[in-house]
Structure 1
Amino acid sequence: MKKSQNDTSRQPKKKSTLISKKYGAILIVCVITGFIIGFSYNLSKDKRTLSSASPQFEQENQYMEDLTGKQERNKELADELAQLEEKIRMYEKQFSSNETQYEQNRQDAEQLRLLLGLTDGIGQGITITLQDGDYNPKTTNPNEYIVHESHIFKVLNELKIAGAEAISINGQRLKPNSYIVCNGPVITIDGQQYPAPFVIEAIGNQDVLISSLELTGGVFDQLLNEQIVVTLETNDLIEMKTVSDE
């Protein structure tokens, strides 16, 4: 009889433990289910938020792309500007060089026109007069005291070497191709005859012209040794007309 009561008293306890485990499992399932539901809700909320904000992100993205494109274009323009500035500097350098060359060419052309007698000769210079020497009856050759074209040529050549810009003899302007011939006591210049004394005018640097003529053993010493009377003067203003006006 006792044994039967003890077995009966153990059965409710075992049933209570089973129920307790069942509710615990249900609770765990509910917690997990709630977590999943909450996570899904937050995820969908984040998706909605991201979806609603995506146009703004796209606009900002577009702005960034535009800014990057403009920066690249600005760099290209800066490079083009640097190249153009370099070209300008090169052109300025060439222009400066050409301007200097042009001025030199202009001066050379003007000097050539002056030497050709195509422009009036005006400026400082010197006047050289060559006269026949005093005749000595004891000499056998009177031509030794006469001014010849060789004497004139010596003076003319030295004046040209010294940089004379324009030269005339007895008022007649000489050209580069002028010819001079001696005919006894007179000389013929380009077909025109002139008697002694022969007055040679030269436009140019006075000091240079005089120094070249008065060199020791130079032209003047040679003329004096050949009995030619030589006089030299400086002139502050000598004027020579163009060849075509003569």
Structure 2
Amino acid sequence: MLYGIEPVIGPGVIVKLDDAKKSNYESDFDLWNSIVHDFDIRQIIIDLKNADAEAIEVNGYRVVSTTSITCEGPIIMINGNYITPPFTIKAIGDKDALYYAMYNPDSWYKTMELRGLRLSLKRSDNISVSGINDGIEIKYLKPKK
């Protein structure tokens, strides 16, 4: 579980992030502020990890120590896979601590709320987070004698 290879089921939170719903922007800054960026997702993950999340997934992709989340123009890439809004982040751990980490006045979630992004946060007793190798057969090599 610590390496993210196996799927995990347990209590936690589900965070949904989506771009703001606004049709006319007064400036490029307004437009920039109204979309979910790669750094938003990374910062939410940091806040969840700081609250002792045991397993995290973004849009079906497991987050581990080597996970890469980058901006690729109008979309985001996670470990070489394109993902688009809405973004669903699942985190397993103490659901009350994770929930509080998002609603803490100093959290990035609250900063995103101030930008007018569409967000939701839900506690759950039964969240399923995929393993990093779901659907991939792992073959172990036997050492030569």
Shorter-chain TM-score category?
Answer: 0.7 to 0.9
**Counterparts of 1:145 and 1:199 in 2: how far apart (Å)?**
17
SS in 2 for 1:245: coil
Question: Is the contact between residue 129 and residue 198 of structure 1 (CA under 8 Å) also seen in structure 2?
Answer: yes
- Corresponding residue number in structure 2 for 1:79: none
Greater share of strand: 2
SS in 2 for 1:118: coil
Distance 1:185 1:227, change over 3 A: farther
**Counterparts of 1:136 and 1:244 in 2: how far apart (Å)?**
40
Name the larger-Rg structure: 1
Query: Which of the pair has the greater relative contact order for Cα pairs under 8 Å at 6+ separation?
Result: 2
- Corresponding residue number in structure 1 for 2:60: 171
* Aligned residues with identical type, % of pairs: 30
Q: Where does structure 2 lack aligned partners over 5 or more consecutive residues?
A: 136-145
Q: CA deviation at 1:241?
A: 3.1
SS in 1 for 2:10: strand
Question: Is the contact between residue 146 and residue 185 of structure 1 (CA under 8 Å) also seen in structure 2?
Answer: no
**Counterparts of 2:88 and 2:99 in 1: how far apart (Å)?**
15
AA aligned to 2:92 is I
CA RMSD of aligned residues (A): 1.5
AA aligned to 2:97 is V
**Counterparts of 1:143 and 1:115 in 2: how far apart (Å)?**
36
Question: Is the contact between residue 91 and residue 129 of structure 2 (CA under 8 Å) also seen in structure 1?
Answer: no
- Corresponding residue number in structure 1 for 2:19: 132
Distance 1:184 1:228, change over 3 A: farther
Question: Is the contact between residue 115 and residue 176 of structure 1 (CA under 8 Å) also seen in structure 2?
Answer: no
**Please, which of 134, 143, 154 is the counterpart of residue 43 of structure 2?**
154
**Please, which of 193, 197, 201 is the counterpart of residue 82 of structure 2?**
193
Q: What's the CA shift string for 1:125-183, capped at 9, x where partnerless?
A: 11000000022414211222110011111100000010101000111111211000122
Question: Is the contact between residue 57 and residue 130 of structure 2 (CA under 8 Å) also seen in structure 1?
Answer: no
Distance 1:138 1:189, change over 3 A: closer
Moved more, 140-149 or 151-160: 140-149
**Counterparts of 2:121 and 2:48 in 1: how far apart (Å)?**
13
Within 5 Å, give how 1:32-71 maps onto structure 2: none
Q: Where does structure 1 lack aligned partners over 5 or more consecutive residues?
A: 1-113
Q: CA deviation at 1:232?
A: 0.5
TM norm structure 1:
0.51
Does 2:12 align with 1:122? no
SS in 2 for 1:116: coil
AA aligned to 1:134 is K
Distance 1:221 1:240, change over 3 A: closer
AA aligned to 1:228 is L
Aligned residues: 133
SS in 1 for 2:2: helix
TM norm structure 2:
0.84
Does 2:104 align with 1:240? no
Greater share of helix: 1
